[in-house]
Amino acid sequence: MTTRRGLFVAPFDALADPRVVGDLAVAAERAGWDGFFLWDHLQYGDRVTDLADVWTCCAVVADRTERMLLGPMVTPLPRRRPQVLAQQAASLAVLSGGRFVLGLGIGDDWVGEFGGYGDETDPKVRGRMLDEGLAVLAGLLGDGEVDHDGEHYAARGVRGRSAPDVPVWLAGRFGNRAPLRRAARHDGFFVIGLGGPDHLDRVAADLAAHDPAPGFDLVVDLQPDQDPAPWLDRGASWVLTRVGPHDLELDDVRRLVDAGP
């Protein structure tokens, strides 16, 4: 398996402009990166003042690039209406020519991002909301058969007969069993908080026990100063380089992007 390399970009502060994000994506594709994934937050503590909308940024990246995969990494599904999210994802799949990946998770309320806007703060409840939303998304992006709150009903699908499929990657912290099991039922697992490459071996083994579908993606992210070599060919199909979230200087980001994987 060849491990692909991508960028994991926080569109904050100096990068909180979809035009800047689009320019970086063009440069990233030219430099040989395989993917360009964007954080999705409404706030990120006192050190971040400006945050761009991830969906606007994804549309710009989709329109201005031709080869790279792209998508939100990750969107907290419990604070979104799944029928609206499905329509956004389907549209971006069309715009990108089938290069859009939908990254989902329960989100993290460490800076009050959920409670501050009246959203659910209990992570266990958000986990149940995530599972319910995934069932709705599967129907709307598939055949229109939707399971919701124990009821099964037919709904008009949003993807359309000729639109590309939308792979779904689920995020979760290393050592948490529920996110891994959930991810194994979909298309990929973005594992957060790995302590070292040996932990990646454990995740790969645990995933294998749940028999994910062929082509399943295992995704990790590293800081820019971390050597990716020990992480390659250890079971991960993607190794991302993190850009942000704090003290972003545009010239520094451009140099990182231009250096390539």
C-alpha span between 67 and 165 (Å, rounded): 16
Q: Which residues of 145-171 are buried (b: 16+ CB within 10 A; e: fewer)?
A: ebeeeeeeeeeebbbeeebbebbbbbb
CATH number at residue 169: 3.20.20.30
Q: Tens digit of pLDDT for each residue in 141-173? A: 886 666 666 555 545 556 666 679 999 999 999
Q: What is the pTM of this model?
A: 0.94
Q: Tens digit of pLDDT for each residue in 29-88? A: 999 999 999 999 999 999 999 999 999 999 999 999 999 999 999 999 999 999 999 999
Measuring CA to CA, how many Å separate 171 from each of 24, 49, 191, 248? 24, 25, 6, 24
Joined together, the tokens standing for residue 155 give 């709904």
Number of domains composing the chain: 1
Is the C-alpha dihedral spanning 238, 107, 226, 176 positive or negative? Answer: negative
Token pair 């026990």 is found at 209
Q: Phi and psi at residue 36, in whole multiples of 5°?
A: -140, 105
How long, in residues, is the chain? 261
15 lies in which domain range? 4-259
- Percent share of the chain, pLDDT over 90: 84
Least confident of 42-56, 118-132, 157-171, 211-225: 157-171
